[in-house]
Every structure is written in structure tokens, then in C-alpha cells.
Chain A
């Protein structure tokens, strides 16, 4: 009898241990999701100058409906937010760049249609700014930061001592390249290790040669659109430039995360770099003296015989906030209020302009003209206000699968591993899937 009891009690003890372990495992997997606070996810580079002050203002004025912001590193954010959106655990306000990724959220019904809610504020923006977030006539996101077209930055000292001016045509560019190489300076810095800076060259060349219609056909999924003569010619020019030593030695392993491409220009190792406007901030923070005295800007050169308008620009129209469809109605209401009234208030616009960034708003030329960096701000604002076409970065416009194939094949094109014909073939077959 005693023996029996001890066996039973031991069995119970065993069970208790097992149950305890199982419960603790289960506890690990469930996090607290019962908060009704409005949450916002952004990327760290926007945190200090752009979002933190804006959210602090909002939380002071609306202590009953505060917003809690979390920030992530840009590349890591892409994976994290996608997993969260897919699992129905998205933040109320989702930072995104529009284009193919947002379209996949829209198709899965994960974000709110904001057309009606924002009808009275949407005309404040320049027309191109809402294009990447408009699908079938409905608007799914609101711009939340500066415009980022791609331009050429150059080191005036280096260019002057080699006796060259920024190139106006592609033939000019090849001459400048050979003069600079003779002078022992790398003509262009390029962060090939990050892949997407290579895309800027292709986007501009295809646009200058064949106009924006070429990519429009690709985006629409037309058969063999990647074999368009403009794409093949652009890729041929790219490979000629690589062979002519157009890019700083070792460009395939230079990456943007350490801003090595900008560093090459301000240290005088390279003369020019083709990059988005955020590089201007890098110059100003990492090499203020250089930015003050020796930094010059130029638009992308024209290509002889090309039919694209030389005023067209490519780059990132801007970045956006969407509202999660999985959030509660109260959360959604607060989020929409913030986007309408909190985000684009006067203080926010002033802060952007004071930080030498150009917001995608209509009619702010005077404010920009009075800013500290009026040269650059003025150039960018004029560029974007007058551009007949503002082509969004292809890797963001396309669906993620094709974008990934594009970046991989582009890298092989720049390292001369494949020919322009092979590039077109590979991209056509990726588009067909």
C-alpha cells in the first residue's frame, strides 16, 4: 500500500514537472498583444530628425490617444514588417515605400483604403507623390518624408584640377571618364555591393534612350518587355562604361551601409557619384567643410538619339505610412487623424526644410529658397516640380520576386558575368513566372 502511494505521488510529481515545462514553452510563444495603443513602425534613419519630434508633439496634444513608435534598421525592417503583416500582427501605422510590396498588402486586404479619409489633404502633395500608392484609383498610403530623386554629386576640387566639367551628354561622360582616369582619379564611385545603386544607372539610361514607356510595359507584365532595344542599348552602354574604368576600383564590394561611396567622393578618391538625395545629408554630416565648399550637383546626362525627355527623373518619390486593416477601429481612427492633422503640420514641414530635405508638397518654393542649403533644395524642388515623369525605383515598383531577380542579374551585368542579351532573357523568363 505504501509502495503504491509513493508510486502514485511520484507519477503526479512527474506530470507536474512535465506540465510546468509545457506551460513555460507555451508562454514563450505568446507575447502581450492586448494593448490598444496605436503603434508605429519606422526605420532608424527617420527617427531623430523626422518622426520622434512629430510623435512627441502628437502625444503631448493627444494624451488620451498616444502613439508608440518602434524603429528598425532599413534592411531588417523589410523582412520583419512583412512577417508581421502576413501574421496579422502588423503595427497600426506601417512604414513602406509603395510599389510592389504595398500592392501585395492591398491584394491580401491587409491595409486600409484611405481615398475618402484623406480626400481633403491629398491635393497638398505634388502629383507624382501619390502614384506609387494608388492602385485601381484608390489611395492606400500617405507620404511621410522627403522626396529622393537621383542626381550626380561631384567633388569640385577634383573636377577642377583634372580640368573637366560635369558631363552633359553620354559622349561627354566617356571623355570625362578617360580624362579622370588619366589623372589617376576614379570617375564614379558606385556602391555595387548594395546592388540597388547600380539600378539607378540602368533606370536613367533606359529612360533617356527609350522614355518612361519602356518600363511601363515591363511593369504591366507585357511579354518580352525586357528585350526592348532601349534596355539592351542601356545595358551595352553600362558594360562599355565598366570596361572603360568608369567606376572606382572594387566597386562590386563597396556598400552603402557604411556610406563608402560618398566617402570616396569627399576624400577625393572618386570625382562623382550618382545617388539619391539622402547622400546630401551624408556629405553634410560626415564632411561638413567639403559640403560647404566643394560639393557640386548635376543632372543625369542625355544620350544622343534617345527619345526620353532629359527633364525626367528617377528615384524614390518618397516613403509612406499605411494603416493596418488588422488594427481595431479605435486604433485606425487615431492613426488616420495623425496622418491628416498630426503629420504634415507646419512644424513638421519646417523641420524637414531646416534639415535640408525637400518635402513632396506643392507650392513651397519660397520656403526652400530661404533655407540654409537653398542651392541644393532649389535644384531638387525645381527638378521634381518640372519633371514630366518621376520614375519610381524599379526594385520597389516591381513585385518582390521580379525585383530580386532584377538586382541579381544587374549585379551579374555590372561584373560582366552576363551579356545584355542574357540579361534580357533572364529577366523575361523571371517575369513570365
Chain B
């Protein structure tokens, strides 16, 4: 089959000549590069400029009121050596890694499940997606009420194991936050996987069926290789997303108890907007940018995603 579809392409010759001809014709009709400008302006305005300003601010002392004064590497030494940074970095790594380990299998399972055509799956899929359409602030406020030690679910229903100090115990808070992140974002990643699975040509599944493959074998040999790029996309979003996760944590806890949930973005916000130390907060911001880029480029180069090779070559 593959040989057949490919054949005409290989025959087409003389190739070099044909290609230059096409290129020449294209050049004339190519859209003006000026059309890139709006996107470039927006990108520069909202990404490049703020990044450059933050980099500059990280070398200054600034309280957001008076003018910034040059401080050299003071902020960098001070912040990178502080307890809250070291603690925040470790916590962020924990949140990122555990979130990925928890969310990926669940999303994959739900995504593959709802990609099927069986009965009730559309209804179930709708239910699974509900958390996705709620705003983060609403999610945080709802969980805050549910987990309230005195007036929450545990106290109201009188279920002893639910009556823990979920939000006030520095050891429990991490578990709760990872749970809420998963609750909120598993639907999104399931959606990615569902789309990934649905675009696999049915002929592959049919072929597998004819070959007598069972469900697990079909998954390992057909589904998994076909959604590899979806896994990379989903993982990148997941890892970078949980690295910079902030809103729910802040509304839910305000950054306490103790250092229990003071991950880097929370530390950055409190340093910048509560302590008015914009220089220190900019250092934390630059560290987050570096970590985010490192993770994203690490995944793409490690997985070969950057080569943009089709998964259906030869189909």
C-alpha cells in the first residue's frame, strides 16, 4: 500500500528544475512579510519587552514607588542563597514531577477511554470536562470551603478521616494542591489524548484486529506509537504549567502554612507584591523563565519532537 501511494512522487523528474520553477513562481506571489508585523509587535510588546525589563530590574533595587537604583548582582546572591528560594525550588520540582506522574496516566486512560465509540461515552466525557470550564478562583474558593477544618465537608458530614487540617498542615498542603491541580487539568489533557487517539486511521486498528491483537497489544503497538507526539505536547504543557502554577494556590492558601506550599511562583509574588522587593522578585522570575525554557527544550530535543516527523509516514 505504501509503495503504491509513494510511487508517483519518486517518478516525478527532472526534480531540480521543477523545484526552482515552483520557487520562482512562489516568490512573486508570496504574502508580504509586512503581514508578520502585527504578530511580531504583539510578541515584542508582551513577551520580549517585559522579559528584558525584568532582567534589568533583577539588577536593581526597586520598591515600585521610587526610582530603581543599580544593585549589581546583590539581588542574585541574596535571593539564590535565601531559605525561601532553596525551599521553593525543591517544592517546585516536587510539584512538577509528582503532577506529571499523577496526571499523565490518568489523562491517558480517560482520553483513550472516551475516544471510543461505545454508549454513554459522550455523556461521561461531558462530565469529565466540567472542571475545565470552571475559573481557577472559583475552584480555589470551592475547595477552600470544602476543606475548612471547622465548617467544611469533614466537619459537616462527621467523617473522621476527612476532618484533617488539610490546608493548615505544612505536610498535607502539598498533597492537596497536587490533587487540585490534577482535578483541574486532567480533563484538558484527556481532551488532547482523545483527539490524538481519534485521528489514528481506523485501518490500523482494523489491521491489528485481523492480526488477532488483544486490547493491550493494540494499545502498545498501535495507539501508543501513534500518540507519541501528543504525549510530548501534553507533557510539555503539564511540566511548564505546574512549574508556573500560581492562581489556585494563592487563592486557596495565600502562601501559607509556613513554607509548606511556597513554590517559586508564590515566592515570586510575595517577594514582589507583598514585600515590594521588585529586584528580588525579578531574579525569581528569571529563574522561572530559565527553568521553563530548559524543560521545554529538553523535552523536545530528547523526544525528537523538534524534527516534526509525521507519525503516519507511509500511510
A residues with CB within 8 A of B: 10-11, 14-15, 17-18, 21-22, 25, 79, 82-83, 85-86, 104-105, 107-108, 110, 192-195, 248-255, 260, 263-264, 269, 400-401, 403-405, 408, 411-412, 415, 417, 426, 433
Contact = CB atoms under 8 A, between A and B. Distances in A.
B14 to A, nearest CB: 30
Given A83-B64, A104-B65, A415-B258, A250 B34 contact: no
Interface in B133-166: 147-151, 165-166
A252 B259 contact: no
Contacts of B45: 25
B310 interface: no
Given A11-B34, A400-B275, 20 more contacts: A14-B35, A17-B35, A18-B37, A18-B38, A21-B38, A82-B64, A83-B64, A85-B65, A193-B257, A194-B254, A252-B168, A253-B168, A253-B257, A254-B149, A263-B151, A404-B271, A408-B258, A411-B256, A415-B257, A417-B258
B73 interface: no
Contacts of B273: 79, 82
Given A86-B64, A193-B254, A22 B150 contact: no
B78 interface: yes
B257 A25 contact: no
B270 interface: yes
Contacts of B34: 11, 14-15, 18
A248 B150 contact: yes
Contact of A404 (B42, B65, B274): B274
12 contacts: A15-B34, A21-B38, A79-B273, A86-B64, A104-B66, A193-B168, A251-B168, A253-B149, A260-B151, A404-B274, A404-B275, A412-B259
A107 B83 CA distance: 30
A401 B256 contact: no
Contacts of A195: 254, 256
Nearest to B166: A253
Contacts of B259: 408, 412, 417
A411 B258 CA distance: 5
A203 B80 CA distance: 32
Contacts of B230: none
B78 to A, nearest CB: 7
Given A14-B34, A250-B150, A252-B168, A193 B65 contact: no
Given A104-B65, A108-B66, A192-B168, A22 B38 contact: yes
Contacts of B35: 14, 17-18
B247 to A, nearest CB: 14
Contacts, number: 122
A255 B168 CA distance: 11
Contacts of A193: 167-168, 253-254, 256-257
Contact of A400 (B41, B147, B253, B276): B276
Given A193-B167, A433-B78, A14 B151 contact: no
A269 B150 contact: yes
A25 B253 contact: no
B165 A412 contact: no
Interface in B15-45: 32, 34-35, 37-38, 41-42, 45
Contacts of B148: 250, 253-254, 260
A400 B168 contact: no
A9 to B, nearest CB: 12
Question: What band does the interface of chain B fall in when counting residues whose beta carbon is under 8 Å from A?
Answer: 35 or more
A18 B41 CA distance: 10
B158 to A, nearest CB: 14
A412 B64 contact: no
B170 interface: yes
Nearest to B154: A250
Contacts of B167: 193, 250, 252-253
A77 B254 CA distance: 16
Interface string B40-83: 01100100000000000000000111100000000000100001
Contacts of B270: 404, 408
Nearest to A85: B65
Contact of A25 (B42, B147, B149, B256): B42
Contact of A252 (B42, B63, B64, B257): B257
Nearest to A106: B65
B206 interface: no
B169 interface: yes
Interface in B167-217: 167-170
Nearest to B63: A104
A149 B246 CA distance: 35
A255 B257 CA distance: 12
B165 A253 contact: yes
Contacts of B41: 21-22, 25
A248 B168 CA distance: 12
A10 B35 CA distance: 11
Contacts of A433: 78
Contacts of B256: 192-193, 195, 252, 411
A21 B65 CA distance: 33
A239 B277 CA distance: 30
A401 B275 contact: yes
A21 B40 CA distance: 12
A30 to B, nearest CB: 14
B230 to A, nearest CB: 33
A415 B149 contact: no
A14 B275 CA distance: 47
B216 to A, nearest CB: 44
A228 B167 CA distance: 33
A254 B168 CA distance: 8
Given A86-B64, A252-B256, A433-B78, A417 B274 contact: no
Contacts of B253: 193, 253
A359 to B, nearest CB: 30
A17 B36 CA distance: 11
